[in-house]
Chains A and B, each alone.
Chain A
Amino acid sequence: MLRSWARALRQAVQSITRSGLMSLASLATVSVSLLVLAVVACLAVNLNLMAQELESQLEIRAFLRDGVDPAAQQALIEQVQALEGVRSVTFISKEEGLEIMRERLGEQRWILEGLEENPLPDSLQIELADPHQVVAVAEKVAAFPQVEKVRYGQGIAERLLAVTRAIRIAGLGMVLLLMVATVFTLANTIRLAVEARRREIAIMKLVGATDWFIRRPFVMAGILLGTMGAAVAAGLVYMGYRYLVRFLVTNLPFVPVASPAELMQPLGSGLLALGALLGMIGSWISLRRYLQV
């Protein structure tokens, strides 16, 4: 088994080097399609990051009725904490609420001077583990008798979630589309090599070669081409992305970006694995027709 794969590898390297210029051309094509794929993936990762950032700002404020006794308050906090999708619950007393408001008003805090008593209710600040459950959690919280009303940016939250979902679907769709395109590029390249050797393949079959014996060198060549193309693409993306991040960090510091090192580790290895996989699928597709002897 190992011996036959080693032989296949040798033959694959041979066939790639033998058709030098052709291989170079197809390598370039594969690199380009994987490059586009990687760029889209980078974009998708960062859009996702942005979406996450926006989503993470979603939180629920629950305002409590006046005169809820401390025991009932404590019970409510525990019950809310236990709800699915809740990360943390912070109790904010009327006094703390007023303090926060003062701070927020800054220069204009004189507005509050005229108040005879604190008009703010006690409240709970609820952070979410899963922003998508904001509406469901808010409804459950509102149903507790201790709660007067909840606020979570009704309307805005739903729209925000719809937008982030659309962003994710679009990113995923593009990535899938490009993957299919890359498979066909690879399949076409390998089909040329197969075409050039179709007589040989027919002879191999007549002499008693199994499909796998014939397939192996081509699959190997596909994997090699895919991986090499991926390496080139990953290198280019890394350089480009590093440059872009440096630009963004200095010029648009408030935009969240994934750091190059952080992104390239999964992207680089993912790209290599993907290149290999797509090469394998591509050669598989291009061989199918020629094995029917």
Chain B
Amino acid sequence: MTAQAPAPVKDRQETARRPPVPSWLRRVAAANETWTFGVLALLVAFFTAARPSTFLTRYDITQIATNAAIYLVLGVGMTYVIIVAGIDLSVGSVLVLSAVLSAEYTIHHGGAGSGWGTIAVSTLIALATGLLWGALQGWLVAKAKVPPLIVTLGGFGAALGAAQIITGGQDPAGAVSGKLQKTIGFGKLFGQIPWLVVIAFAATLVFGLVLAFTRFGRYTYAIGSNPEAARRVGINVDAHLVKVYALVGLLSGLGSVMWLAYFGTTSIAGHSTDNLKVITAVVLGGASLFGGRGSVLGTVIGVFIPAVLSTGLIIMGVQQYWQDVAIGVVLVAAVYLDQFRRRGRDHG
């Protein structure tokens, strides 16, 4: 036996002693969610103080949550994609295509008066459409090595175009079963919580837990952080990428079912900016477009910031367009901060 490990002598150049802050506290303070949550809390406090009697009544909260539900579902998928250093511009169009294919089935199987059998099949069609479209895009990204921006920009156009070909560009009548609208669309769990919100919450919870606590989540972060390192430890990077893009597709399909249930129409022309809204929410939530960082919790906060902002501005009687200005500024600031911190950190 040659030498024992020397007692941990402090390397002067190695460890500039950090102040004695507990590590969990440092981690909380460094977490993006902490800061975005602060912004959200500030907004809520501001509007509540400005309009104590009208802001955040139960009606508002329900309304905000319902409006946010679909974006939240898309945002959860987008969180995964952005963490693997990808992007998905196609979410809104995939939602439309899924809605249209499921509507076509409904129209030919009882239309507005159709029953649960038709609802089940049309829902499966919507989910499968999203899943397959997403998987195809994932395959193009992972195997064909086409940049995700281009693959999903193409997907954005192609899915919308396909939906318009199928419908002739008009939202078809009888696209949704009245039963689905009455239950999932307008119904409430225990007469209290809209089903739309329950579904969004469930999807968020499940995929939030998967991201934070399972191997699938760990590999998602690892690939976004350093794909070559992931490959060298034996992670099947290509297969994982396909799964991630398939997941965001699946959730777009779920979003289409929620949309149909709530609005009762396919709204072919109404989803051209979904992608930007969702990406904004995810980035506001602290995900890095360079990959490796982000969380579902952050995305939840990021979805609610615009939602709270627009409700608050309406209540205060401010022109709603100010919301877009505010969000734009906050978004750019968030990305600037991310880059700034990344630069500081990578000096290490």
Please indicate whether A and B come from the same complex rather than being unrelated chains: no
Instruction: Tell me the A residues contacting B by CB distance below 8 Å.
Output: none
